[in-house]
Amino acid sequence: SLAPLAPTTRCRYDRRTMSAANDKAIDERLVGELSLLVVDDDAATLEEVVSLVQPLGFKRVLAAAGGAAAMSAVARAAPRIVITALMMPGVDGAELLAQIKRRNPTVVVMIMSVLDSVEHAVRTMKSGADDYLTKPIQRDVLAARLEGVAERLAIKREAEDLRQLLD
């Protein structure tokens, strides 16, 4: 089921500053308006990934314990980014990816898996995933990937704003 978490506290330090826990905040201008959903059927992994994401400054971080709960969360909360496990009972990560992209192809979907092979990562990316992360998730890798996603979304948003000005 969907386990809404308290909205993350916006980080007050700049990109170069590290907190005592060695968490790197992403520039608030990039993530301050973005919501993110983490999906995994394993409660410990779900909690771990959420704890890695929360200090990064996202407007809202949600958690779902499985693919079916994630689809409900996507319908209700419309997150811009979804980080999901690949292998889950019922609605797995591949099916969740397909359903999310059918509903809204602009949602960024990052797949996490214990499978650490280039072939598997390429296959997942060809299926529409925006990124592939190997479990266990490394804090620095996740932060860097999310920062890149946030930067790309900000550029798309700015381009759209400029297009509307020209129309």
Q: What's residue 157's pLDDT?
A: 86
Tell me if 57 sits within 8 A of 28, measured CB to CB. Answer: yes
Q: What's residue 5's pLDDT?
A: 47
Q: Which of 3, 4, 12 is nearest to 32 (CA)?
A: 12
Residue 69 identity: A
Q: What's residue 25's pLDDT?
A: 65
* CA 102/CA 159 separation, integer angstroms: 23
Q: Does 101 have pLDDT greater than 90? A: yes
Q: What's residue 144's pLDDT?
A: 93
More confident residue, 43 or 8: 43
* CA 94/CA 88 separation, integer angstroms: 9
> Reduced to 3 states, what is the DSSP secondary structure of residue 20?
coil
Q: Does 45 have pLDDT greater than 70? A: yes
Q: Does 82 have pLDDT greater than 80? A: yes
Q: Does 155 have pLDDT greater than 70? A: yes
Percent pLDDT > 70 in the chain is: 82
Backbone angles phi, psi at 135, to 5 degrees: -80, 145
Q: 20: pLDDT confidence band, cut at 50, 70 and 90?
A: very low
Q: Does 102 have pLDDT greater than 50? A: yes
Q: What's residue 117's pLDDT?
A: 84
- Cα radius of gyration (the chain): 16
Q: 24: pLDDT confidence band, cut at 50, 70 and 90?
A: low
More confident residue, 111 or 29: 111
Q: Does 49 have pLDDT greater than 60? A: yes
Enter the tokens of residue 103: 């509903």
Q: Does 129 have pLDDT greater than 70? A: yes
